[in-house]
Structure 1
Amino acid sequence: MDRVFKGRGSRPDVANPTRPARSLRPGVLLAGINKRLVILSSRGDFGYGPGQRIAHMNHVEGGVATAFGYIGITDVASVAIEYDEFADDRLRASIASAEADVDALAARMATSAIVEAA
């Protein structure tokens, strides 16, 4: 345990308190490999989407996108089902809308993959 706190040169697996911490630079690890992140989520309540009544309280998509951004995946799309806790017509409509959004997203991604391959 004490080896963790002793400086051991440049070994990456051991902390070195004599060297200032380097900040993790976003996008370095997988930069340039053209990966996409698709976030599919379910929300018990409603209004968490961009510009909606409680969008500022949605930490799911932003948190996941931020984490993946640090490894270089910055092309992010998300689709969400809302009204999950209500289990009524609003939920059924949200599911139908999300399914349509996923179909549209898949079509866009397929089209862009064809264009990129050309």
Structure 2
Amino acid sequence: MRDMVEFVTSSLSNTGVIVSFQSLPTGMIPPNQYITFLEYFSDADLEAADEEITTERLIQANVWSKGNYSTLVNAVRKTLEQAGFERISEYDAPYTDGDSHFNKVLRFRFIDEY
């Protein structure tokens, strides 16, 4: 089974922006654009003789930007799909007064083998 933090971080390292698991490090000033991610669901995908053969893992990537993030969103989508992820949804998170960045949420499915 893969270390998803390492796998997603290394997969997205070519985007040219900071990639961080769940949040930016404490005390870090948010750059103009960055990516956070988390695994929000994991469950057996295929079992045989009461043993898990593959695991379905659902990952959420959040693209944060002070401006237009279309290019970065496309890069995240393409990069994760090339790494074996299947995009299952994406949406713009609501922007509220006081927020410093816009947020695009992308959700992906990955089948992990033991």
* TM-score (norm: length of structure 1): 0.28
Which entry has the higher C-alpha Rg, 1 or 2? Answer: 1
